[in-house]
Every structure is written in C-alpha cells, then in structure tokens.
Structure 1
Amino acid sequence: MSYFMVFSDEFFIKGATSGINGNLFDASSLEIGRQWEALYTGVERANMLLDHIDNAIGSVSQEKINEVRGQALFMRAYYHFLLADQYGPIPLKLSSAKTPEEDPLPRSPLAEVYTQIVKDMKDAIPLLRKASEYGFNGKVSTTAAQGILTRVFLSMAGSPLKDEARYADAALYADSVMQSGEHSLNPDFKQIYINHVREVYDIKECLWEVEFGGNNQGTIREGGSIGSYNGIYCTNIDTGWGADLVHATAKLYNAYEAQDLRRDWSIAPFRFVASGNTVVRTNWSANEIYERNNGKWRREYENLLPRNKDFNGTNWPLLRYADVLLMFAEADNYINNGPTARAYEALNQVRRRGYGKPVSAADPVVDAPAGMPQADFQEFIMNERLRELAFEGLRKHDLIRWGIYISTMQQQAATYDATMPTALKAAATGQARRITSRSVVFPIPHSELNVNHNATQNPGW
C-alpha cells in the first residue's frame, strides 16, 4: 500500500520533505507511471480473457465460463474506476491489443468512462457467486461487486460529475448487500485487523480483500508490507519492525470520544522503545498526539515466524460491511431529504460496534442524535467515515467526491503550523500545503505521453 496515493487529513508522513512521501512528485515520477502501468496491465489481462474465453467452450462448463467472465468484467471495470478516480479522463480500453501498430487511444470523457464501468459491473453481478460459496474473500463475490458499485455510484453523485440521480442507485445496491444475508458486522472492531494480520478470512465483515501471503523468504513471494511501512514504530524484527512513517493527526484523534474503542486501536497509544537487546512497549503521554502511529495492523499478531523486516502476509481490506452501511445511510439521507429510520439504524450499528455495544440494540448514549436535518446527518456521516475507516485508503476519495479536498488540506496545513510540535511541523505542513487545485487528480505519466500521441496532460501538470 503506497500512502502517497491517499494523502488526507487523517495522517501525515513523518519527516518527509521530498519525493513521493513528501507529496512532491510530477509526471515523470516513477511511482506515478508504475501505478498507471499496473492498472492498465490489469485492464489488458481482463480484456485478453474476455476476448478468448469462449474458446474454452467444450472443455469447461458453461457455468464456470460465466463465472470467470463475471470476474473479468468486474476487474476490468474496477481497474478503470481506479484510473478514473486517480487520473480523471482516461483511455477507455475494451479489447486487448492485437498488434503493436494499433493507434493509441485518446482519453475518453469521464462520464463515458463511468457509464462503461457501471455497465461492466452490472453485467458481472449475475455471473458471480456468493461469498459463502467461496468461503474466502480474495475473489469478487456478488455482494462485493454490489458494494463496490455502490462506491462507484456515490463517486458519480459527487464531484466532479455531480450526477445526483446516482444516489438512488447507490442506496439500491447497498441495500442489496444488506438484504443478502451474507454479511454482518464483526462484534469486535479490533478483531477485524487481527484477522488480517493472522491471514484469517472473515467473509461476514470483509467483503473483499487484497491477499498477501508469507514473508518473502521462500520461492513463492507474495508478501506485503502492511504494518511495516504504515505501522507502529519498532526497531526489533522479532517484535514486528515498524518504520514510524504514518502518523495520525490530532483531527483524527479528536474525532473520537474517549469511550470509543476504535480510537486506541486505530491510533496506537504506545510505541516500542529499545532497551538493551529487547524493546519495551512504552505509552505516549496524553499530549503526545501527533507522535502516534496507525495501530490497526499490529505485527505482534503475526503467526508466521521468523518475522521479516519488510514483508508479511497481512491482507488489505478493499471493502468492509461497515462501509456498505455508511454508504447506504449517506445515500438514503440524500434521496429522502433527510435520514429515514433505516439510515439511522445503518449508521448506529457501526457506532454501537465502535463502542463495544450490541449492534442491534438501541443505545441512547451511543446512537446518533435523533431528528437531524439532512445537512447535519451528512456531516455526521462524514465524521463517522473518518472514525470507522481511518487509514484504509478511502478518506482522500471521500473528500474529493464531497468537493472539500483542497479546502480541508489547506486548513490542515494551518492547523499543523499552529499546533504541531516543532520537530514534526515542517514536513507535515509542507505535505498538506502541496494539495492545490491540480492535486485532485494525478498527472498523466510522461511514460504514457511519450508513446501516446493522442493523450493530453491534466491541467496544472
């Protein structure tokens, strides 16, 4: 997971004043090009499969062909969604390359790209299988596709397209997940992330995950770096090395009430300090907020030993049921000019779990205030998404679709400058101040512009 892709108001990168981690990049930056190329590689592979899958008729059952077709359609759509979300209008590629002499594609209008994304996902859904049939969540299930399509519709409803009719579609598809009987909230918030670290599948809470495995010590190397790059500071490999890069903001910390159990799990209240040949778990003081790391994926729970400094098998959540509930509540609030009882119930289930309460029982202390008008409920949802989904790569996406990314980050820069400890201030302030009007999308990589005479660059780059 590369956190430069999702700079937001929930974290900053300690000490980074240059390069990608310092939020300093341009169209020639290697990471910008690699992201583009990796996503289009995924598009090409999906297209190759779709172009040739019917050749398998006779040797493979039609049921299996349909399922594989559904997976490929969805993945083509998902890669295009990530590209459009990060780069704006993009070349829409719907068939595999047949010859190197093909004329490269121009960038398609964003509305056209999203129309195709929706079509592919809708076509995929009836071909996919239930999560309970798979028994794990590394493959796209029916409800995972419905949940991601909900995210797509909310993106279309917000900036920059502002196609507000899509709120109704978002509510419909989120409700399909909720009514499926396939998913529910894990009653213990922290267990979600312990399961990720231990490579345990929870198909009820987690609809879709990126699967990693092992510690890159053998022939098969499928390890990731979750909890290493973005985890709790630790210099001891046996305990679980952490780079001390991703730090929580005071805005994130203060968004939680003291009784909210999510706070001290999402934001680690301790670090590991070297003491001779060992390390000692040492708590931060009450006023040391900016010093704290992302604590969701804690390497001390890793099962595979010996540990590797940089690699582990911790899985990454792409979609959780809590997100589906919050998306439903947001869409329902919009289309009904205020929240219905179902919107409140979806929101409150997430809140009750966060406080360690039974999710199905009303709680007058924990539940959101009754009778909120539409605007107040929307603000409450925005803050609840910050609390629930912290460090999961969705905050920047949310701020952009809400149309407040630039203003939020400029306010963060001012807050850092006024309140942050001197040792951390310069780097964090610079990272936030570099979020300007051009930062809503990345530049089209020079590697693409050099080979595609039909491509154009994004404004400001």
Structure 2
Amino acid sequence: MKLIYCYTLVVLLVATGSCNKILDTTPQDFVHPSNYYNSEMELESALAGVYDRLGDNRMYSQGMACYLVFSDEFFMKSQTSGINANIIDASTLEINRHWESIYVGIERANMLLENIDKATSVSEQRRNEIKGQALFLRGYYYFMLADEFGSVPLKLQSSKNPYEPPLPGTPVAQVYEQIIKDMKKAEGLVRTISDYGYNTRITKTAVQGILARVYLTMAGAPLNDVSKYAEARKYADSVIQSGVHKLNPDFRQIYINHVREAFDTGEGIWEVEFKGANKNEIQEGGMIGSYNGITCGNRDTGYGYDYVHATAKLYNAYDPGDLRRDWTVAPFRFVTTGQTVVRTAWAADQLYERSNGKWRREYETLLPRDQNYTGTNWPLLRYADVLLMFAEADNEVNNGPSQQAYMAINMVRRRGYGKDVGSADPAIDAPAGLSKQDFQDLIMSERLRELAFEGLRKHDLVRWGIYPSTMQAQIREYQSNMPAALRDPAIAQAQRITERSVLFPIPNSELAVNPNIQQNPGW
C-alpha cells in the first residue's frame, strides 16, 4: 500500500477532556508526528482523528446507509446513472474515496500506536485505554476492507517517506488473523460502556460484539471456516452475560434516540456520532434521515431526498401485528403545497412507493433544520443484533437451536410485537422443535426484519453465500409486481449484482500507484 505522504501530517483534533465524546473538539493546525503525542490532550486528539473517518460521506454518513450496500431490502428510486444506480467500476469516485477513507483511518491508527508511549506523563491506564481503541479501530477498518475488497494490503506501520515500496494484497485469511489479533488485544485494554454513559467510544462489549460479527463472517463465505461459529457464540454470549445491555422495550424509541442525539447504552452498544449541521461548527453532521429518509421537500418537517425505497419483499416480511413494519417502512410521505405540509398515507397497494422510515427528521431538536445535514447517530452495533448473532452461532455449534438460542430470538421477536421480552408468548415465539435449517431460515428472516436499512443486509447475504442469487430473484419480483413508473431503474440496479459484485473493484487510485496488487475477478 502506497499512501500519499501528507497523510502523516494529519489534522489532529484536540479533545476538551479525557472523558468527553469524540465530537467535543476544537481544531488544531497541521503538526508533524515528531512534535506530537506528548500529552493526554494530544493523544485524545489523535484518537479523534482515527474515529473521524467513520463519519465520512463515503462511510457511515451516507454511502454505507444506501448506495454501497445494495440489497433486497431497498432500491434507489428512479436512479439511472452513477453510484446511486449501482453503476460502478474501478474509477468510481465513491469507491475510491471509500477505500481512501478507510486507509487514512488505518494510517492514523498506526501513527498513534507507534507514538503513544512518548506521552510519559500520561498514566499507563489512560494510555492503554487509548491504545485499545486505536487497535480496535484499525482492526475494524481492516474488517471493512476484507469484507468489501477481499485481499488488500496489510499495512501495520505508518508511512515514513513517499518512496516506500507498495505492498501486495494480503490473503484474506491473514487479514482476518490480524483483525482478530488487534481486537482481542483491545478487549483487555478498553473500558466498559458504564464508564462513559454514552456509546460512541469503543468499549469492552463493543469489542466483543464486533468480534462475534467477525467470527460469523469467517464462518461463512468466502473463508467458510465453520470452526469459527464457536468463537462467534462465545463472544456474543460475553455481551449477553455482561449484564450491561438490554433491549429497549419500544422499537421506535431506538431511532428517535438516534435522531435526538440521545444515548441509550442498553440497546445501543456502538454508534457513529454525528452532531450539528456543518454550519460554522466544529462538529460533524451526517446525512442520516435526509439522504435516506422519508419523502419530503420542506425543511420545516425535515427534507428527505426520496432515494431509498423499501421493497415489497421487506414490507411483506412482517406480519400485520409486527410493530416494526410501519416504523421501518414509512406508511406515509409528506406532501407540500405552498407553505402547507400534509402527512399523507400511502394506499395499501403502494408498497414500492414507501421510504425508509427509521430515522424521522420530525424528531430533530436542532432548529432550524438543515436541508442536508443532521446530528442523527448511526448504529454500528445494537443488542438485538448480538442476540440474533448468538442464536445463529448457537444453532450451528449445537447442530440445532438450544433453549438459549430460542430465548435470544424470541426476545427480539417479542419486542417487535410490543410484548414483554421476558414472557413467553406462543403466538409470537419461534415454534418449538425447529430443525437446524428451519431455525437458520428463521434467523435470516428475523435479521431482515430487525436490522433493515442498517447497512447489514448485504453483508449477511454475502457471508451466507446468496448475494447474487438473491438479487437476481429480485429482478423477477420487480418485473412481476413493481409499478411501471419505478420498474426499469430498479431492475437495472439489481441486474448489476452478479458474481463479481460480492467484492468491490480495487480502486484506480490504488492500482495507479501499486503495481503489486491485482484487480478482483470480473472487474
């Protein structure tokens, strides 16, 4: 990997206090690493720089909420060109910027890890806490790269000069070995979520929950190392047994909290923090709720670009009594006539016209609302996801679901219907005596219902080895049932997902400077 040398001259953000949230920052001039990393404040600012890449537009502010994670749960309405139409190749700007954002995060993590011990005035405990977060984030960034691009350069030291030889792609299995190594080391260094009271920092249960996700991924395609199911089960169970997390009894409140910038550390284990509206502010606003929100052309209610539309498959995956349906798939849009905004219901048969309804801008507290930017946080790991990962891994380990697996999935299902998660309900609970395959099928459906629009569906379909086939089936669904006004662009978007689409192309920005890396098959 050959990075532009100026990446080593990073913009470092100075935190206002060691326990403040990452976005409580003030700007600093460019500085050279040799003159930095000497105090707790400087270590915190460097760590903020590592976190910073998560909020880039081509990361979780926008791309990882829609056009980088095309799946069977949504299509991009009437989009016929560019990334929004799923037209990509090695020259696509968003793919190039996505790759670059991740590697900038890695570079910053490497720099911090190399220099952290210079701060001799900082206690070892404090340095370990910062080191653990940097290690985890480096591992997480490599997890994204391996998941999306396959064999990538594994760069574990910062760039010292612009003439360093570029690295070849490292085999995927070896990249995962480093991911596991970094995350396991981080687990013993980071603090608990109770120490903070908010969930935008890396904490012990965040590490454990993401480790469960990593191991589940390794157990599936492309590695198919089924021995990793046991590790996935163990780490998911560690989160459960920690006792610090619980399901929010109201599914809707999870997303209202995201919009209101309110922290729920029971359900929300790890979130990307956005704040403000990018107007003469230091804080970084995102585009959650505007770019992927409910149809609306009025700022007073909260502008929505009307891009991300639910599929009938997603809507029909819910039973009528499942309260998640009409929150996840908005049953209305906002119609503006002059100065009047009217909430208007969709007709019963207008399924494909409906938008993602999870992050509703009407709940924003920062007024006046900006057309583009919001302070809505993005969920990277929720407790419901951990329960479903546990159930999936347990089913594999035991060659069928144990009572613990049933309890985990039933808690998620009960909450979806507004019931007490701890009380059995035969009308809602998973049927007893399911076979291993039937239980896996139920898990796959439940993950669709619970985690829709949260950027995980494509990842799940890939690791289950069914991404291209699932999307080809969507083409037939669109051809048969989608309204003519929406049909052709949606079909074209799905048609572009073939076997090569399991991985993104290696970007031209990398190919141009790295003769040692190979392009992915089909690109």
TM normalised by structure 2 equals: 0.87
Contact 1:210 1:315 in 2 (8 A): yes
Q: Which has the higher contact order (CA 8 A, sep 6+)?
A: 1
Deviations 1:13-36 (A, max 9, x none): 000111100000110011110000
Indicate the residue corresponding to 1:244 in structure 2. Answer: 306
Distance in 2 (alpha carbons) for counterparts of 1:133 and 1:172: 24
Deviations 1:142-179 (A, max 9, x none): 00010001000000000000000000000000000000
User: Bigger shift: 211-220 or 287-296?
Assistant: 211-220
Deviations 1:22-73 (A, max 9, x none): 000110011110000000000000000111111112x100000111110111
Offset of 1:414 from its aligned partner?
A: 0.9
Q: Give the one of 488, 503, 511 matched to 1:449.
A: 511
Q: Give the one of 141, 152, 169 matched to 1:79.
A: 141
- Is residue 100 of structure 2 the alignment partner of residue 43 of structure 1? no
Indicate the residue corresponding to 1:146 in structure 2. Answer: 208
- Is residue 225 of structure 2 the alignment partner of residue 155 of structure 1? no
- Is residue 169 of structure 2 the alignment partner of residue 110 of structure 1? no
Runs of 4 or more above 2 Å deviation: none
- Is residue 352 of structure 2 the alignment partner of residue 290 of structure 1? yes
- Is residue 276 of structure 2 the alignment partner of residue 276 of structure 1? no
- Is residue 69 of structure 2 the alignment partner of residue 10 of structure 1? no
Distance in 1 (alpha carbons) for counterparts of 2:283 and 2:189: 31
Distance in 1 (alpha carbons) for counterparts of 2:240 and 2:313: 31
Deviations 1:97-118 (A, max 9, x none): 1111111110000000001100
- Is residue 182 of structure 2 the alignment partner of residue 120 of structure 1? yes
Identity of aligned residues (%): 66
Contact 1:352 1:359 in 2 (8 A): yes
Distance in 1 (alpha carbons) for counterparts of 2:85 and 2:154: 31
The size of the alignment, in residue pairs, is 460
Distance in 2 (alpha carbons) for counterparts of 1:99 and 1:303: 46
Q: Which amino acid aligns with 2:74?
A: F
- Is residue 87 of structure 2 the alignment partner of residue 24 of structure 1? yes
Offset of 1:4 from its aligned partner?
A: 1.3
Q: Which amino acid aligns with 1:4?
A: Y
Q: Which amino acid aligns with 1:458?
A: N
Deviations 1:266-325 (A, max 9, x none): 000000111231110000010000000000000000000000000110000000000000
Distance in 1 (alpha carbons) for counterparts of 2:501 and 2:156: 28
Indicate the residue corresponding to 1:304 in structure 2. Answer: 366
Contact 2:274 2:283 in 1 (8 A): no
Indicate the residue corresponding to 2:423 in structure 1. Answer: 361
Contact 1:212 1:314 in 2 (8 A): yes
Indicate the residue corresponding to 1:212 in structure 2. Answer: 274
Contact 1:240 1:307 in 2 (8 A): yes
Q: Give the one of 438, 444, 451 matched to 1:382.
A: 444
Structure 2 gaps of 5+ residues are 1-61
**1:230-269 correspondence to structure 2 within 5 Å:** 230-269=292-331
Distance in 1 (alpha carbons) for counterparts of 2:501 and 2:338: 45
Indicate the residue corresponding to 1:56 in structure 2. Answer: 119
Distance in 2 (alpha carbons) for counterparts of 1:175 and 1:406: 32
Distance in 2 (alpha carbons) for counterparts of 1:406 and 1:312: 33
Q: Which amino acid aligns with 1:25?
A: I
SS in 2 for 1:456: coil
Offset of 1:341 from its aligned partner?
A: 0.1
Contact 1:197 1:297 in 2 (8 A): yes
Deviations 1:370-410 (A, max 9, x none): 11000000000000000000000000000000000000000
**1:148-227 correspondence to structure 2 within 5 Å:** 148-227=210-289
TM normalised by structure 1 equals: 0.99
SS in 1 for 2:356: coil
Indicate the residue corresponding to 1:342 in structure 2. Answer: 404
Distance in 2 (alpha carbons) for counterparts of 1:266 and 1:174: 25
Distance in 1 (alpha carbons) for counterparts of 2:478 and 2:228: 36
- Is residue 172 of structure 2 the alignment partner of residue 93 of structure 1? no
Offset of 1:221 from its aligned partner?
A: 4.4
Offset of 1:440 from its aligned partner?
A: 0.4
Distance in 1 (alpha carbons) for counterparts of 2:490 and 2:414: 33
Q: Which amino acid aligns with 1:98?
A: K
Offset of 1:328 from its aligned partner?
A: 0.1
Contact 1:236 1:278 in 2 (8 A): no
Q: Which amino acid aligns with 2:466?
A: I
Offset of 1:218 from its aligned partner?
A: 2.2
Deviations 1:65-90 (A, max 9, x none): 11111011101000000011111110
Q: Which amino acid aligns with 1:47?
A: N
Q: Which amino acid aligns with 2:101?
A: A
Q: Give the one of 386, 395, 406 matched to 1:324.
A: 386
Contact 1:199 1:315 in 2 (8 A): yes
Q: Which amino acid aligns with 1:392?
A: E
Distance in 1 (alpha carbons) for counterparts of 2:225 and 2:276: 43
Deviations 1:384-441 (A, max 9, x none): 0000000000000000000000000000011101110000000101100110011000
Q: Which amino acid aligns with 1:354?
A: G
Indicate the residue corresponding to 1:424 in structure 2. Answer: 486
Q: Give the one of 502, 505, 514 matched to 1:440.
A: 502
Distance in 1 (alpha carbons) for counterparts of 2:220 and 2:181: 19
Q: Which amino acid aligns with 1:442?
A: F
Structure 1 gaps of 5+ residues are none
Deviations 1:241-268 (A, max 9, x none): 1011100000000000000000000000
Indicate the residue corresponding to 2:9 in structure 1. Answer: none
Distance in 2 (alpha carbons) for counterparts of 1:83 and 1:368: 35
